[in-house]
Amino acid sequence: MGLPDVSLPVGWCRSGNHDLALVGRIASVGWELDVWGKLRAQRAASEAGYQATALDYACERQSLAATVAKTWYMAIEAQQLVKLAEQSVAIFSEQLKLVTIRQNTGKGTDLDVVDTRATVESAKNAVELAREAYSTIRRALELLLGRYPAAEINIATAQQAQAYSNYGSVILKAFGEVETAIFNEQSLARRLPFNESAVRDRIEAVRIAKEQYVAGRKDLLWVTYLKDNQITTEAALIKLRAATHLNHITLLLALGSSFEDTPAVTISQFTN
């Protein structure tokens, strides 16, 4: 705080207690004016800071609302895609029945059966993929809405609410990571036999097509088309197996497991 500017009229600087007291009162007024001026400045700065914080809070609320709305429509889209994928399985399964009937009556071929069967298996795999995507989006929406079913925290007092505010967010995230990894583990396990069966059928389809090509019953373009399907299906199986291993590692980390026989750091080291 700087020295106040105290100015006295000429002729007021006289000796005597009365005049000295008057000078003291005037000086005190100058100090008070300076203090209140700085307080007003500080108050103005505080109000500006509060307004900025309030604006940031309002922007965050709008951003959160927009994110929730987007995730909501993404969840609807994902759910509709699940239904569409399920319909495709029903359609191709019905087609497989028709092809099998034609084969039994001598009007169809083994190639038609194995190729259609591979398509059914691929469609079933697509259903699991769609369900996995929908489940991921649904859990993200539940986290945004703060009502994740697997992580409920009972808070009795306002003090507890304050104390657990950040802790609750961490718990929700941890539960989300664990449940996502567990769901993916189950989904990947269900998809694996579909892909393996599809690969076997694609390989068999190519074998039959080659024999028919040599016999002059199929052209080379048809063989190339089936071979391309085989390669695509085999690539998907390779990716699926890799994803299974990666998700298993993710699950172990989410559950707090260690990849070492003797962990380098233990909890007791921090508690002692």
Encode pLDDT of 177-230 as tens digits: 888 888 889 999 999 999 999 999 999 999 998 888 888 888 878 888 888 889
pLDDT at 5 (0 to 100): 45
Using CA of residue 102, residue 108, residue 112, residue 113, what is the dihedral sign?
positive
Q: Is 236 in contact with 202 (CB distance < 8 Å)?
A: no
What pLDDT is attached to residue 21?
53
Tokens of 66: 């927009």
Place of tokens 């469609």: 123
What pLDDT does residue 267 have?
44
Would you kindly state where each structural domain of the chain is located, as residue ranges? 60-146+167-256
Residues with Cβ within 8 Å of 181's Cβ and at least 6 positions away in sequence, in order, are 247, 250, 251, 254
Indicate the residue type of 248. H
93-102: which pairs have CB atoms within 8 A and are 24 or more residues apart?
Answer: 93/120, 95/119, 96/120
Q: What is the mean pLDDT of the chain?
A: 76
Below-70 pLDDT ranges, the chain: 1-52, 56, 147-170, 258-272
Q: What is the pTM of this model?
A: 0.57
Task: Output the pLDDT for position 56.
Answer: 67
d(C-alpha 166, C-alpha 56), whole Å:
19
Which pLDDT belongs to residue 151? 46
Number of neighbours of residue 3 by Cβ within 10 angstroms = 8
Q: What is the pLDDT of residue 41?
A: 63
**Residues constituting the chain:** 272
Q: Give the CA angle between residues 143, 128, 149 to the nearest 5°.
A: 25
- Residue 146: the pLDDT is 72
pLDDT number for residue 258: 65
What pLDDT does 15 receive? 47
Sign of the alpha-carbon dihedral angle for 206, 126, 189, 258:
positive
